[in-house]
Structure 1
Amino acid sequence: MVLCELLNNDKPGQMITRSASKGFTTDELCYLDGKFTYQGTSYIPQQELQPHLQLSMWRHENLYYPACIKILKNYLKKRTNQVNRKVKPRLKLIQKANTDSGGSRVSCLATGFYPRHINLTLYRDGQPVADHEITGGDLLPNGDGTYQMRKSLEINAADKHKYTCSATHLSLDNKLDINLEFDPGEPFKSVIPSVLTILALVLVFGVVIYKCRRRRAASPKSDYSTASTSEENVDPAS
């Protein structure tokens, strides 16, 4: 894998070449400002590795690096509107029950933003949560060319701290904050309106069915009474 970068004012940045085997990086050669840095786990003897590195460095400096920078500049020229666009992140602070631990997971999610660099921080009572408590944090691509990032924290059932999700991004004039007030009774409060609505509907349908049955039960009696009255009024002589 070979990658290069452009800094501000189209200044060429570093170039990195990596070789990998079975999912692990075996060799990495970095070129910046005419200097090379090599890191590797190659088992090639040192006396054989040096000539190989010398040839590779020459190729990088005289062939690969100029070609990579040229291709990158042409790409940026053609896609300047797309590359230079700024899309604001959509920020969410989600709390979800964890059945395994009996507690909850608080997740700070930023998605749909561009460019890719973002600072996403989860606060507890106004203080940043320690990195060793956080899971996630990887930058992932979306299908529309934007990016997303999620940071999560496991909390216990008795946790009553105030959590805040905060993001800073090039598309934002000010940092974006979302608060989460932990309330153990909140899930039940959210269910109560739904339960009351269902009970009200059941009651209404019950009243309607009851009235319909009463009308049906009263209808034959009324017909019978009318018929009987008519027969009683008939003259026996006829």
Structure 2
Amino acid sequence: MASQRGRKRRKRGSFSSLLLILGLLSLTGIQAAHHKHVIQFTTVGTESSLLEHVMVDFLDDVQVFSYNKYNQKLMAKEAWISQVLGAKFIANTQQKLVDHEKSFFWFLKNLMQNETKHDVNCTMQVSVSCENEENNQVRKEIQIAVDGQEFCILDKEMGNQIILMPEALPFKDFLTSILQTTQIEHYMQEYCISSMKNILLHSSIRKNVPPEVTVSHYEAVGGINILSCSATGFYPSSILLYWQKGEEKILPGKESSSGILPNADSTFYQQITIELPPEDMKTDYDCVVEHIELGTPKAYPVHVKYPKKRYWTLTLTILSVVILVLSCIVSFIIWKKMKTGYSFHECITLEVARIRNQGDAHQLRNG
């Protein structure tokens, strides 16, 4: 009895260990995939007033949250995201965003303190991003732009290295003191990294998906050749499609693109096409696709399909050959008869005379 209880405990222990291993493997699979979390702030104001303050949150290029100064509410794109992160997280983050409005406005005022025109608008954009690499290392970065121009970059993985543009040099001490505070690090860890991991654990997409690529060709009016390359079902959305002829890459602008579009299953789609003149050879073109799940760039060749009118041409050619062969056979038969001593006309005359004689004999029998 004791030995049976021992075997049962060992079985339960083995089963629990198996569940634990499977759970760790599934979590490892989620974390091993490459994901990127980006929080973008856009602030517009003058030296005396804050005109606009907007935050948009993206996870793998899919919008997760949004916020603006008019309603001062953190809005989740999907209801389940708020449930996953919890009401406390949503409330705390929303209050921080309200407080951020004062900080961003204060930053704008410092940027515009030497501006002679007091009613001029200034636009500041701040991008906070964190992404996990293939070895599960997390990369964190903050970028600031002013009026569409890069202002400074803070790379948290390079020893808090700050890259200042010439326009930002007068604000060096000011920017260094702000970007290297413990509040920034706490924000990066709590909001950027932790929320990304929690959302991914409950997301319908838990790993990257490679694209399915289709390359086609058809001939348009005037003999113009259209080459089309489509990639669909891939995740995340970061992808690069371009055409090359042989080893030469076709310069951007010569092809048209649909842009990266979402599919119903949260994956993405993109198509690029290029027009070629009738005299251009089509068999030396490849569509090159770069995506994180493909590893190195992969080339997909064009398979040329000839248009229907060429099949009609081939059919007519075959019919012409058949008619020519039949004509030769008939000519040979006629020549053979002529060689035996009868002309073609004589053969017809003798046949008519035979039919007439048969008719006369029939009339005599009936008479």
Give the TM-score, by structure 2 length.
0.39
2:188 is matched by which residue type in structure 1?
C
Map 1:85-234 → 2, pairs under 5 A: 85-95=207-217, 103-118=224-239, 120-124=241-245, 126-132=246-252, 134-135=254-255, 140-144=260-264, 145-162=266-283, 163-167=285-289, 169-171=291-293, 175=298, 177=300, 179-181=302-304, 183=306, 186-188=307-309
Partner of 1:79: 199
Instruction: Please give the alpha-carbon distance, in whole angstroms, between the structure 1 residues aligned to 2:279 and 2:216.
Output: 17
- What SS class does the counterpart of residue 152 from structure 2 fall into? strand
1:86 is matched by which residue type in structure 2?
N
Q: How many residues are paired up?
A: 178
Partner of 2:34: none
- What SS class does the counterpart of residue 300 from structure 2 fall into? strand
Q: Given the alignment of the two structures, is residue 6 of structure 1 paired with residue 125 of structure 2, yes or no?
A: no
Could you tell me which runs of 5 or more consecutive residues in structure 2 were left unpaired when the two chains were aligned. 1-125, 314-367
What percentage of residue pairs aligned between the two structures are identical? 15
Does the 8 Å contact 2:140/2:188 carry over to 1? no
Instruction: Please give the alpha-carbon distance, in whole angstroms, between the structure 2 residues aligned to 1:102 and 1:85.
Output: 44
C-alpha deviation, 1:151, in angstroms = 3.6
C-alpha deviation, 1:57, in angstroms = 2.7
Does the 8 Å contact 1:134/1:151 carry over to 2? no
Does the 8 Å contact 2:263/2:269 carry over to 1? no
Partner of 1:30: 153
C-alpha deviation, 1:36, in angstroms = 0.7
- Return the structure number with greater helix share: 2
C-alpha deviation, 1:15, in angstroms = 1.5
Give the TM-score, by structure 1 length.
0.56
- Return the structure number with greater strand share: 1
- What SS class does the counterpart of residue 152 from structure 1 fall into? strand
Does the 8 Å contact 2:215/2:300 carry over to 1? no
C-alpha deviation, 1:86, in angstroms = 2.5
Instruction: Please give the alpha-carbon distance, in whole angstroms, between the structure 1 residues aligned to 2:187 and 2:258.
Output: 30
- What SS class does the counterpart of residue 237 from structure 2 fall into? coil
Q: How big is each residue's C-alpha offset from its partner over 1:66-92, in whole Å with a ceiling of 9 and x where there is no partner?
A: 413431221232133546413232322
Instruction: Please give the alpha-carbon distance, in whole angstroms, between the structure 2 residues aligned to 1:160 and 1:119.
Output: 24
Does the 8 Å contact 1:4/1:65 carry over to 2? no
Q: Given the alignment of the two structures, is residue 61 of structure 1 paired with residue 180 of structure 2, yes or no?
A: yes
C-alpha deviation, 1:113, in angstroms = 0.4
Partner of 1:226: none
- What SS class does the counterpart of residue 181 from structure 1 fall into? coil
